[in-house]
Amino acid sequence: MNLTPSPFAPAKFPDLPEVRGLKAATGSRGFYARRGVVRDDVFLFVFDEGTICGGVFTRSLTASADVRWCREALETGAGKARALVANSGNSNAFTGPKGVLKNDATLAALTAALGVKRETCFLAATGVIGEPLSDPNYVGAFVPDLAAKLGAPDWERAARAFMTTDTYPKGAGCVADIGGAEVRLAGIAKGSGMIAPNMATMLAYVFTDAAVAPALLQETLRTVADLSFNAITVDGDTSTSDTLMVFATGASGMAPITTREDPRFAAFAEALLGVCHDLAMQVVKDGEGASKIATVRVTGASSDASAKAVAVSIANSPLIKTAMAAGDANWGRIVMAVGKSYQPVDLEKLAIWFDDVQVAKDGARAPDYAEAAASAVFAKAEFRIRVDLGVGSGGATVWTCDLTHGYVDINGAYRT
């Protein structure tokens, strides 16, 4: 499939720091060979002893075999991590017993090649749903080849290896001073369509050499996910494979952060959120066929959760997304999306802005409404939709993209 690069694609892949305590390798297993494409489609990360991890996964009731295994491994392994392997080209979702056999074979290969425990190995797959592999050991047989060439991560190659309909590889990272220790974070993500994470097909991994207690890392990741990946949407569809994991090797040498009261915790949480937010924004900016990006901010709600529900209702509306694509500042569709959310709203106080242009005030069209000014906002590549519900102090922000003919073209040809 020949894809037009997103207009928001960065000029180059970012320079990410080398995270201590891990090695990686990528390779081509041939998942795309039937399409006449030779490309890296598998990556392997191996972590030093003492690495811990946290993860949040899709809440879909048709979650993939890989997601189900990762949930189990997190619990039985108490957050310990030694390996991660992911492939693109096949999601191993809705594959029944054959999907479990694929995972068993891959895990057996990892334990044999690396000498690690099964419950410290994590798996991921992304691609077409409902197509079991003809050979359960298809990925497992490739593990020794990857293990033989482990080295310092090539972040861009890893980011490319699990791309599907992405038009560019996604990476983000930072170096943070945490209590006098230099801590490094690097993350990669893939996702372009089937993006409405509920924990985008979305996979994201962040690696750090910070030292954080497992329970605290898991708790922090859940909060970070809600403010980043769970606040983006491309098409309103929650994948069977949505995964966000963080691996902390502790190789920075810092003493572990064990509680929120630790004065170093805020700095770590801020660094992790920064990387995850960057990756999440790259996902929505690579939305299939996207030409415009909107920040949807809802205030004056009865609670933050209510504000989030309204913002998602606006961000997922096909009518609003197609209006964005056409540059049509049809603010009546915003009113519609507020109403269909079934959240508390004071109609006599409802107000709407496009950037700084107020289009609705006190439950009606703004007295000084100017169609030309509103349309000028919707003609921009990036703009803001703000809504005040007039009932409380709750607020939330969600990011979305428009819906163009390109989305139909890409998804109509996805399996060909």
User: Can you give the CATH number for the domain in which 108 is found?
Assistant: 3.60.70.12
End-of-domain residue from the set 285, 320, 347: 285
Q: What is the pLDDT along the chain (416 residues), one digit of tens a residue?
A: 577 888 989 999 999 999 999 999 999 999 888 778 889 999 999 999 999 999 999 888 899 999 999 999 999 999 999 999 999 999 999 999 999 999 999 999 999 999 999 999 999 999 889 999 999 999 999 999 999 999 999 999 999 999 988 999 999 999 999 999 999 999 999 976 554 555 544 799 999 999 999 999 999 999 999 999 989 987 666 667 789 999 999 999 999 999 999 999 999 999 999 999 999 999 999 877 789 999 999 999 999 999 999 999 999 999 999 999 999 999 999 999 999 999 999 999 999 999 999 999 999 999 999 999 999 999 999 999 999 999 999 999 999 999 888 777 766 665 55
Q: What is the pLDDT of residue 170?
A: 97
Q: Is there a single domain that holds both residue 214 and residue 326?
A: no
How many Å apart are CA 281 and CA 232, to the nearest integer?
A: 8
Global pTM value: 0.92
Cβ atoms of 338 and 296 closer than 8 Å: no
Cβ atoms of 389 and 310 closer than 8 Å: yes
Which among 209, 156, 155 is positioned nearest to 22, based on CA atoms? 209
Q: Is there a single domain that holds both residue 227 and residue 313?
A: no
Q: Is there a single domain that holds both residue 270 and residue 300?
A: no
Q: Is there a single domain that holds both residue 355 and residue 214?
A: no
Q: Is there a single domain that holds both residue 139 and residue 270?
A: yes
Cβ atoms of 231 and 398 closer than 8 Å: yes
Residue at 323 is within a domain? yes
Is residue 120 among the annotated active site residues?
no
Please pick, among 201, 233, 240, 299, the residue that the annotation labels catalytic. Answer: 201
Count of structural domains, the chain: 2
Cβ atoms of 174 and 274 closer than 8 Å: yes
User: Other C-beta atoms within 10 Å of 35: how many?
Assistant: 11
Joined together, the tokens standing for residue 411 give 């998804």
Which among 79, 57, 47, 42 is positioned nearest to 208, based on CA atoms? 47
Give me the sign of the Cα torsion angle 68, 74, 80, 86.
positive
Pairing mode of beta strands 364-365, 357-361: antiparallel
Q: Is there a single domain that holds both residue 248 and residue 275?
A: yes
Q: What is the pLDDT of residue 200?
A: 41
How many Å apart are CA 246 and CA 232, to the nearest integer?
A: 19
Q: Is there a single domain that holds both residue 305 and residue 279?
A: no
User: Other C-beta atoms within 10 Å of 383: how many?
Assistant: 18
Q: Is there a single domain that holds both residue 333 and residue 210?
A: no
What CATH number has the domain bearing residue 299?
Answer: 3.10.20.340
Residue 379, CA distances (Å) to 9, 54, 325, 383, 384 in order? 19, 41, 9, 9, 12
How many Å apart are CA 302 and CA 32, to the nearest integer?
A: 49
Q: Is there a single domain that holds both residue 363 and residue 241?
A: no
Residue at 111 is within a domain? yes
- Sheet holding 293-301: strands in order across? 232-233, 394-401, 293-301, 382-388, 351-354, 357-361, 364-365
Q: What is the pLDDT of residue 408?
A: 76
Q: Is there a single domain that holds both residue 326 and residue 251?
A: no
Q: Is there a single domain that holds both residue 136 and residue 271?
A: yes
Hey, what amino acid is at 163? M
Residue at 362 is within a domain? yes
Cβ atoms of 92 and 99 closer than 8 Å: yes
Residue at 382 is within a domain? yes
Residue at 10 is within a domain? no
- DSSP string over 309-356: HHHHHHHH-HHHHHHHHHT---THHHHHHHHHTT----TTT-EEEETT
End-of-domain residue from the set 232, 256, 285: 285
Q: Is there a single domain that holds both residue 256 and residue 186?
A: yes
Alpha carbon 395 to its chain centroid, in Å, reads: 22
User: Other C-beta atoms within 10 Å of 372: how many?
Assistant: 8
Alpha carbon 387 to its chain centroid, in Å, reads: 25
Joined together, the tokens standing for residue 162 give 């699990």
Cβ atoms of 93 and 63 closer than 8 Å: yes
Reported residue count of the chain is 416
Residue at 9 is within a domain? no
Which among 92, 234, 72 is positioned nearest to 162, based on CA atoms? 92
Q: What is the pLDDT of residue 192?
A: 66
Residue at 96 is within a domain? yes
Residue at 71 is within a domain? yes
- 42 CB contacts (<8 Å, ≥6 apart)? 26, 27, 28, 29, 31, 85, 86, 87, 88, 139, 142, 146, 161
Cβ atoms of 329 and 367 closer than 8 Å: no
Residue 368 main-chain phi, psi, to 5 deg:
-100, 25
Domain carrying residue 227: 22-285
End-of-domain residue from the set 263, 285, 307: 285
Q: What is the pLDDT of residue 415?
A: 56
Cβ atoms of 188 and 155 closer than 8 Å: yes
